[in-house]
Amino acid sequence: MDTDTTEAARHFAAKLRFETDPSDVKAAMDAAERFVLVDTRGEAAWRQGRVEGAIHLPTADIERRAAELIPAGMPVVVYCWGPGCNGSTRAALAFSLLGYEVREMIGGYEYWAREGLPVVDDDGSGTRAADPLTAPIGSIVCDC
């Protein structure tokens, strides 16, 4: 197998520049880093459960409403359902076309919740037990 290591390095560096994951987002929130976390799913999904601290802006509304909700120059992290959904990719594209610095939270809401991170729904907030297939028990850091 022939691999162009320079091209591979560019690919993976770009991927890390434009993607993040639930544990890194949680660490950035805890460190009070400057960004807005955006749940890009529809109303029913939002009511069912969301990342605590996220704002709700469905992908279909980004072009029309982003400027009223998120100041220009504010970095944005978007998420949708999970790895089987490309809604957050569409949302990231919409934000980038509007000039926002944007990253996509891979794993989406599914992996946020499965890692035992704080969620909220219309009945209140809480956490789920971490799924040992997605996160080390008792830690949000996988040391990878």
Tell me, rounded to whole angstroms, the distance of Cα 30 from its chain centroid: 15
| Residue-by-residue pLDDT tens, the chain, 144 positions | 667 889 999 999 999 999 999 999 999 999 999 999 999 999 999 999 999 999 999 999 999 999 999 999 999 999 999 999 999 999 999 999 999 999 999 999 999 999 999 999 888 766 666 666 666 666 555 555
Q: What pTM value is reported for the model?
A: 0.88
- Which among 66, 75, 22, 74 is positioned nearest to 40, based on CA atoms? 66
- C-alpha–C-alpha distance, residues 48 and 91, integer Å: 20
- C-alpha–C-alpha distance, residues 39 and 88, integer Å: 8
140: phi then psi, degrees, rounded to nearest 5: -95, 0
